[in-house]
Amino acid sequence: MDVSNGSLDLMPSAGVSHVSSRDIPALERDRMNSELDELRKNIDSIDDEILRLLERRANKALEVARVKQSSGWTSYYDPERERRILERLTAAHDGSLSPSAISSVFQEIISACRSIQQSRWPAALGLDEAASGLPPCGLPLAAFDPAQFRTAAEIVVTRMERHLSDRSIRGLRIVDPSALQRAAQALMATGHEGIADCDSRRLAAIIDLYIETGIHVHSPGYMGRQFSGAVPLAAVIDFAGAVLNQPSSFYEAAQLPSVAEQIMAGELNRFIGWDPDRFTMVTTSGGSLANLTALLAARNDKFPRYWSEGGGSVASHPRPAIAVGDDVHYSVSRAAGIMGIGEAQIVRLPLNRHRQICLEQVGPALATAQRRGLRVFCLVASAGTTSVGAFDPIDELADIAREHDAWLHVDGAHGGSLLVSDKLRHKLRGIAKADSLAWDAHKMMFVPPACTLLFYKDKVKSYGAFRQQASYVFDTEPDIYTELDSAAKTFECTKRPLIMSLWVLWAMYGRTLFADKIEYLCELTEQAYQVLRGESDFEPLHRPQANILCFRYSGAPRAAGRVPDLQVAIRNRIKQQGHFFISKIDIDGASALRVVMMNHQITIEHFRMLLDDIRLAARALLGESTTRDRPDHEHRSEP
């Protein structure tokens, strides 16, 4: 394994056709080799000339730096000049190279020349900081130099563009962690007493390694998880947010993000339907934290003394409990533990054949809980369960919650985004009756993680989740600025400006971008379900309610027992092959295969290709099992 540049010696993708020279007749092979040799000599000659020209350009760049210094320039960096160069060159192209390819090549050349200027400015010219005319600097650090930043950004952006342009079918290459660790360590700066230089080649190798070892979420082979390839513009805004570094819990630290949060709250509430003057929204770093926050608000609303006095405040009263569907996300169980309620006080509601909360059994389950000495203060409904994407009947559950004086929280982390679609909004019928809603924008709003929107019907109750005083951040005298502070409503004091990537996409493209993609993914999943119904060797386990579909391979029922947990073994084989990335799930105690359609570049033909790969994987596994089960003499060849 070569780790000198951080690369891993991975096997080529399965299914890629390679033509061997042995397949070509000898005379034809000689002719081809001769022609190739001549072409390669020509290319070498051209490369030599390019190198000479690059050296001349670099020397001219140094001359430019000297002239700038003697003319009183305070910096060698001239972004406007670089922009004009790229515009002129891309406008002049008339050959095989595209404008983007020309731009990428010359950006690298300009960056290299700029690095040379930087390394010799002003020290190589015999000037000190005072002579350069620059204002005094407390601690000069090259790592913060704007030109070095641009060079690094160009390296990354060039590779991201190439990555996004790759439309091949790729899943995930699983790499031995120890091999990956060696490759990563080989890219680290070692042996430096001081601050090491930012080596462009090492940075490029790190980014290449990052891409090479990741899940290819923009590939049609990616059907495995609920996070999506982000809209590229959202990634750009996330990049800007990292540079600007504006923690968004307080208006004074993040003015535009605070306003953008208010704007998006109003935009999305149009699909929820709450009173615009009474509701509120806060962003959290993930759906799990949003669920915990909403449950805290619900508990403190129904048990006002619990926050200050703890469990002792209900010692002589029914114990606080939470009612959930049996397929609820595991974060709710974790929240119960964190809040001191305990998993024993989670009332699990049975599911119907669609894997939704069964309305007929909710009443009896709550009655049983009451007899156990429990007070259900919150009922959690799911809008798109993680396992199968099921939507609980929110409208009816809201009525039941009101009858039992319980808070209704909707975990819409996955399916909340269907609200922006006119065709699919009915899946969340009754959402206006809920008390709170968690909605992950990093799932089906296609922004980088984590960006969760936590909505409350009553803004006053949103402050009930956390009650504390901290004079170094909280103002006791509210004004028009502190009214936009969100820190009092969330566990996080410092958090990234999560809303910015979503707001910019909404501002630039509008709602239809999201609606069109969501509708396509759900329609595609329905098509996949219909395909499975027509295949005798597959069993769909449910009709999809959104973009999640679970199924089993059933092509060899008699032989399947020879391979323990065949479905999981198939999934692992598919993952190892590197074409497709899918997930697995337990349904009614048995393993199943699971696809999540998150990429709009997937077509039904890609799904048929996946089924073919599953068949091949199953046959290979069952064949291996048959071979292992044979007596030893059957494995031996004849002498």
Same domain, 186 and 306: no
Q: Which of 164-173, 277-286, 621-630 has the lowest mean pLDDT?
A: 621-630
- Nearest one of 284, 289, 287, 293 to 495, comparing CA atoms: 284
Reply yes or no on whether the pLDDT at 287 is more than 90: yes
Instruction: Say if residues 540 and 592 touch (Cβ distance below 8 Å).
Output: no
CB-CB contact of 319 with 375 (8 Å): yes
CA dist list (Å): 300 to 339, 435, 486: 11, 14, 18
CA pair distance 562, 556, nearest whole angstrom: 10
Element (H, E) at 590: strand 590-596
In a shared domain, residues 122 and 70: yes
Q: How much is the mean pLDDT over the chain?
A: 87
Q: Residue 17 has what pLDDT?
A: 39
pTM of the model: 0.80
Q: Which residue is associated with the tokens 């006053």?
A: 460
Measured between alpha carbons, how far is 464 from 466 in angstroms, rounded to an integer?
6
* Nearest-angstrom CA–CA distance, 308 and 300: 10
The alpha-helical segments, DSSP class H, found in 339-448 are 359-371, 394-403, 441-444
Q: Are residues 217 and 349 in the same domain?
A: no
- Say whether both 338 and 470 belong to one domain: yes
Phi/psi zone of residue 373: left (φ > 0), alpha (ψ -120 to 50 degrees), beta?
Answer: left
Residue 131 shares a structural domain with residue 206: no
Q: Measured between alpha carbons, how far is 173 from 13 in angstroms, rounded to an integer?
A: 9
Give the number of other CB atoms < 10 A from CB of residue 265.
19
Please say which residue of 432, 456, 475 terminates a domain.
Answer: 475
Q: Is residue 497 part of a domain?
A: no
Structure confidence at residue 77 (pLDDT):
77
Q: Which two tokens stand for residue 104?
A: 């990428």
Residue 471 shares a structural domain with residue 516: no
Q: What is the spatial distance between Cα 416 and Cα 441, in angstroms, rounded to a whole number?
A: 9
Question: Given 431, 456, 475, which residue is the final one in a domain?
Answer: 475
Give the total residue count for the chain: 639
Contact indicator for 475, 482 with CB cutoff of 8 Å = yes
Rg (CA), the chain: 30
Domain carrying residue 149: 39-165
DSSP state of 447: -
Domain identity same for 449 and 576 = no
- Specify whether the CB–CB gap between 410 and 431 falls below 8 A: yes
Q: Sorting pLDDT into bands at 50, 70 and 90, what band is 121? A: low
What is the average pLDDT across 37-46?
91
The residue-averaged pLDDT of 365-392 equals 96
Q: Are 551 and 540 in contact (CB under 8 A)?
A: yes
pLDDT in tens, 412-456: 999 999 999 999 999 999 999 999 999 999 999 999 999 999 999
Question: What is the percent of the chain with per-residue pLDDT over 90, rounded to a whole number?
Answer: 62
pLDDT in tens, 458-474: 999 998 888 755 444 45
The alpha carbon torsion through 7, 10, 14, 17 (nearest 10 deg) reads: 70
pLDDT above 60 for 150: yes
- Yes or no: say if 448 and 219 are a contact pair by the CB < 8 Å rule: no
Q: Which residue has the higher pLDDT, 132 or 478?
A: 478
Say whether 552 sits in a helix, a strand or coil.
strand
Flag whether 234 is in a domain. Answer: no
Residue 319 located in a structural domain: yes
Asked if residues 337 and 314 have their Cβ atoms less than 8 Å apart, the reply is no
Cβ-contact 325, 385 below 8 angstroms: yes
pLDDT tops 80 at residue 495: yes
* Distance (Å, whole) CA 507 – CA 134: 39
- Say whether both 115 and 213 belong to one domain: no
- Asked if residue 215 is part of any domain, the answer here is yes
Q: Domain for residue 109, yes or no?
A: yes
Residues 221, 313, single domain; the answer is no
Query: Higher-confidence residue: 239 or 11?
Result: 239
Pairwise CA distance, residues 204 & 173, whole Å: 20
Residues 420 and 455 in one domain: yes
Phi then psi for 193, rounded to 5 degrees?
-75, -35
- Is 126 inside any structural domain? yes
- Band the pLDDT of 598: cuts 50, 70, 90: very high
CATH of residue 307's domain is 3.40.640.10
Domain assignment present for 414: yes
Q: How many C-beta neighbours within 10 Å does residue 424 have?
A: 20
Q: How many domains does the chain have?
A: 3
On whether the CB atoms of residues 155 and 200 are closer than 8 A, the answer is yes
Q: How confident is the model at residue 128 (pLDDT cuts 50, 70, 90)?
A: very low
Instruction: Identify the bridge partners of residue 374 per DSSP, sorted by sequence position.
Output: 319
Query: Are residues 353 and 400 both part of a single domain?
Result: yes
Q: Is residue 177 part of a domain?
A: yes
CATH code, 95: 1.20.59.10
Average pLDDT of the residues in 23-40 = 76
Domain edge (last residue) among 147, 165, 183: 165
Coil vs helix vs strand at 455: strand
Give the mean pLDDT of 175-203.
Answer: 89
In single-letter form, the type of residue at position 49 comes to E
Q: pLDDT, tens digit, for every residue of 257-286?
A: 999 999 999 999 999 999 999 999 999 999
- For residue 567, the domain's CATH number is 3.90.1150.170
Alpha-carbon distance values, 183 to 13, 155, 207, 216, 580 (Å): 20, 20, 12, 20, 25
What phi-psi label fits residue 105: left (phi over 0), alpha (psi between -120 and 50 degrees) or beta?
alpha
Q: How far apart are CA 492 and CA 474, in angstroms?
A: 13
Note the pLDDT tens digit of each residue in 509-555. Answer: 999 999 999 999 999 999 999 999 999 999 999 999 999 999 999 98
One domain for residues 81 and 64 = yes
Region 277-306: mean pLDDT is 94
Of the candidates 21, 161, 24, 167, the one whose C-alpha atom is nearest the C-alpha of residue 101 is 161
- Report, as an integer, the average pLDDT of 367-371: 96
**Do residues 171 and 581 touch, judged by C-beta distance below 8 A?**
yes
Bridge partners, residue 617, by sequence = none
Sheet holding 548-553, edge to edge: 538-540, 548-553, 590-596, 583-587
Span 32-44, mean pLDDT?
Answer: 87
Q: Are 371 and 334 in contact (CB under 8 A)?
A: no
Are 358 and 395 in contact by the 8 Å Cβ rule? The answer is no
Q: Within a 13 Å sphere around the CA of 517, how many CA atoms are in the beta-carbon half?
A: 20
